[in-house]
Chains A and B, each alone.
Chain A
Amino acid sequence: MTDHTSVRAGSRRPQRYLPLQILLGFLVIYFLVPFWWVIVNSSKDAPGLFGGGNTLWFTDQIDYLGNLKQLFTYDGGIYLRWILNSTLYAIAGGIGATVLSVMAGYGFAKYRFAARRFSFAVVLGALMVPATALVIPTFIMFSRLGMTNTVWAVILPSLLNPFGVYLMHVYARDAVPDELLDAARVDGAGEVRTFIQIALPLMRPAVVTVLLLSAVASWNNYFLPLAMLSDNRLFPVTVGLGLWQGIASANNSGGTSLWSLIILGSLVSVIPLVIAFFSLQRHWRGGLSVGGLR
């Protein structure tokens, strides 16, 4: 995919189309407004926030450090715990789901085993099952096993990623030639070694894409942890901020200090993923087109 881009950019001079660029400018403003609001307002103290000044510009007092200190010390530093929990859920869920998807996608693409077509059809059907429809029965199952309100209750269900399997299947089928695998076998490499040393490097763009998509899905998850967890020290940051927002809305006057924490908390919580996306964009862009192209 990226090859075409470079060929095109090289063979033609840059296309400018000024009116389209102005349109793009407006779109960018629209997509950035919420970020701008959060960046501006997390610099304010409570009087600045409620004083009725311009809500899209800074006040004279810019106090990020003070607000950050408040955020990370409030309620015994619970916010940092939430961030760490989210990180744990995203990494464990993301890596686990990716490993399972890559193996299964490769297996479906490269081995003619019993019940393969049927199993794959079932996986495709599962793409259409809404994830949230599974939350309530999964919760009841876990509660029967006494496993609700543990990290496992959040991590284990997020290992399921049928779309990842589909994506890896398509990619492995097209990007890993059978002849290459046969050649490796003839040279005496075992199946597992062939997979790790020959197939895996060829599937790398799709692997990074699936990893990123599953990690984001775990990081963003709200319904599942909301249902599973009752101890707020296990909350991911999404459920935690939702909790704060509920408290702050419930008591309008007493919640004033909490509002500024929620604003800054939202800003801080998006930074890790934004960095991950920007630094990895070279890797995941090629993989994203796979699902839509074939």
Chain B
Amino acid sequence: MTLLTEKRARRPENETRKIRGKVHLREHLMGWLFVGPFAVVFLAFLIAPLAYALYLSLFQKKLIGGTSFVLFDNYVKAFTDPSFLSGAWFVIRFSLVSIPLQIVLALVMALILDSVTTLFARFSRLMIFLPYAIPTVIGAVMWGFLYSKGFGPLTDIFGLFGATAPDFLGSNLIFYGLLNVVTWQWAGYYMIILYAALQGVDPTLYEAARMDGAGRWQIATRIKIPLIAPALILILVFSLIGTLQFFNEPQILRYLAAGTIGSDFTPNMYAYQQAFSLANFNYGSAISFALGGIVFICVYAFLFFTRKRRSFL
């Protein structure tokens, strides 16, 4: 390759046109050389598992008669299975609440940190981002402690006012318990992405707006937010993908919230249970594939409806 390039480089201008065909071939080769290693991993760990999941999901294993081809029976079963449906309904409800909450919080924090330029603001930025460096499992463990009756401060704090502490691990409040863990974990990360986007905005725009008599609020809503719309859409997509495949936090809090979080709490937990506790790989694959399909369709629909604003994909 190196030799070829050198030859081409030394060739006089008028000769290059003649060998354009060759140059193209070389460019194809070089392109695939750079992309190739990733392509191999992509085929092996994304395309192959997806295809395999699809294949497995078309079979059923019975105690009598062995494995048989059943076409879409597993999907029919999944979409009539109360466990799968309640899990899917939970993650959809949870997305509808948690995503706007996280993004609004992240946006407010990013706007504050973009306007306040003190040392304390810089310190706050790091502290707010800190939970991103914490594994979700550890985050869930930590909040599990704070929620628990024995270890947590809630009993003491509410006791001061003579009230009983709310039980965020009980079935009434587990939704909010998880909501808090997720917000704590991700809002800082989204804030950093938005903050970075805000820092990339040309500050002379603000000066110009101020000249025209725009206030701080108007600058934020009319200039800053529209300009970082691509970043907002990016984190919306991230959070949608992440929330629909909810697994780690409920799986960890399950131990502490016995009876509240069942093994079919989210679709992913249900797939895990089917595959690993019940060795029902065919049905587990069908649930995984159905979940992947739901996520793909949701995200694709979302991108379709925001296509005027999106410029990141």
Contacts and interface: CB of A to CB of B under 8 A. Distances in A.
Interface of A: 1-2, 4-5, 7-9, 11-12, 14-17, 20-21, 23-25, 27-28, 30-35, 37-38, 41, 49-50, 54-56, 99-101, 103-104, 106-108, 111-114, 116, 119, 122-141, 156-157, 159-160, 162, 165, 170, 185-193, 195, 216, 219-220, 222-223, 227, 237-239, 241-242, 245-246, 248-250, 259, 262-263, 266, 269-270, 273-274, 276-278, 281, 285-286, 288-289, 291-294
Contacts of B118: 14-16, 21
A289 B199 contact: yes
B195 to A, nearest CB: 8
Contacts of B120: 21, 24-25
Contacts of B39: 104, 119
A222 B136 contact: yes
Contacts of A159: 41, 45
Contacts of B48: 141
A241 B141 contact: yes
A125 B112 CA distance: 34
Given A17-B116, A23-B112, 17 more contacts: A4-B200, A12-B117, A15-B117, A24-B124, A34-B143, A34-B145, A41-B145, A104-B37, A128-B237, A132-B247, A133-B50, A134-B46, A137-B288, A222-B247, A242-B252, A288-B192, A289-B196
B151 A49 contact: yes
Contact of B138 (A112, A187, A238, A259): A238
B138 to A, nearest CB: 5
B291 interface: yes
* 9 nearest A-B pairs in the assembled complex, by CB-CB distance: A113-B31, A292-B231, A107-B34, A190-B2, A111-B31, A289-B196, A133-B292, A104-B38, A137-B53
A286 to B, nearest CB: 8
Given A132-B247, A185-B9, A293 B285 contact: no
Contacts of A50: 150
19 contacts: A20-B115, A30-B184, A31-B184, A34-B145, A38-B145, A55-B153, A108-B35, A111-B30, A113-B29, A113-B30, A113-B35, A116-B31, A130-B245, A136-B288, A190-B1, A216-B132, A220-B137, A222-B248, A274-B133
A86 to B, nearest CB: 9
B26 to A, nearest CB: 9
Given A28-B124, A130-B245, A274-B130, A187 B9 contact: yes
A8 B247 CA distance: 42
A218 to B, nearest CB: 10
Given A131-B245, A273-B134, A292-B231, A37 B142 contact: yes
Given A106-B34, A185-B9, A193 B2 contact: yes
B71 interface: no
B109 A136 contact: no
Most buried by B among A114, A135, A278: A135
Interface string B274-313: 0110000100110011011001100110000000000111
B79 interface: no
A38 B151 CA distance: 11
The contact size tier of chain B is 35 or more
A245 B124 contact: no
Contact of A156 (B45, B53, B194): B45
A14 B121 CA distance: 11
Given A21-B121, A34-B143, A266-B138, A136 B53 contact: yes
Contacts of A277: 129-130, 132-133
Given A55-B151, A111-B27, A134-B50, A238 B199 contact: no
A103 to B, nearest CB: 5
Given A9-B117, A27-B128, A133-B53, A160 B42 contact: yes
B121 A245 contact: no
A291 B234 contact: yes
Contacts of B200: 1, 4, 289, 293
B137 A31 contact: no
A104 B35 contact: yes
B46 A192 contact: no
A195 B228 CA distance: 32
Given A37-B145, A128-B296, A157-B45, A292 B234 contact: yes
Contacts of A262: 141
A116 B24 CA distance: 13
Contact of A31 (B2, B35, B117, B127): B127
Contact of A126 (B46, B121, B153, B276): B46
Nearest to B109: A27
B200 to A, nearest CB: 5
Contacts of B258: 249
B17 interface: no
A185 B115 contact: no
Given A28-B124, A223-B248, A293 B230 contact: yes
